[in-house]
Amino acid sequence: MTFTASGSTPGGGVALVWGAAGGFTIPAGYPCAGIQLDIVPLLTPPPGYLLATADSSTIATAMVTVPARACGVVFMQALDLTTCSKTNTMTF
């Protein structure tokens, strides 16, 4: 599937995160430390995030392989690493 986030900072980094319902605070030492995500990233291999760069149209895109059993169970959210603003949470 294609994971697309729009409205990101042009040329800026975007974390595309997926995981379970819940909450997760980004720890110290990472970009956007202290920001509360609305999901718990899956940290088992492969990690539950990808880093992408927004293009000049403010769009960041990455391809993610999603197993059929994850549909409706796994959530996704994007985080602009320049402004530390996050998107709403969506399900696969």
Query: Quick one: which of 35, 72, 23 has its CA closest to 15?
Result: 35
CA atoms of 31 and 35, how far apart (whole Å):
9
- pLDDT, tens digit, 9 for 90 and up, residues 58-74: 999 988 777 788 778 88
- The pLDDT > 90 percentage for the chain reads 55
Residue 11 DSSP SS3: coil
CA atoms of 44 and 60, how far apart (whole Å):
24
Distance of CA 90 to the CA centre of its chain: 10
Over residues 12-39, the mean pLDDT reads 92
pLDDT for res 85:
97
pLDDT for res 29:
94
pTM of the model: 0.87
Task: Tally Cβ neighbours within 10 Å of residue 2.
Answer: 7
More confident residue, 60 or 19: 60
pLDDT for res 58:
96
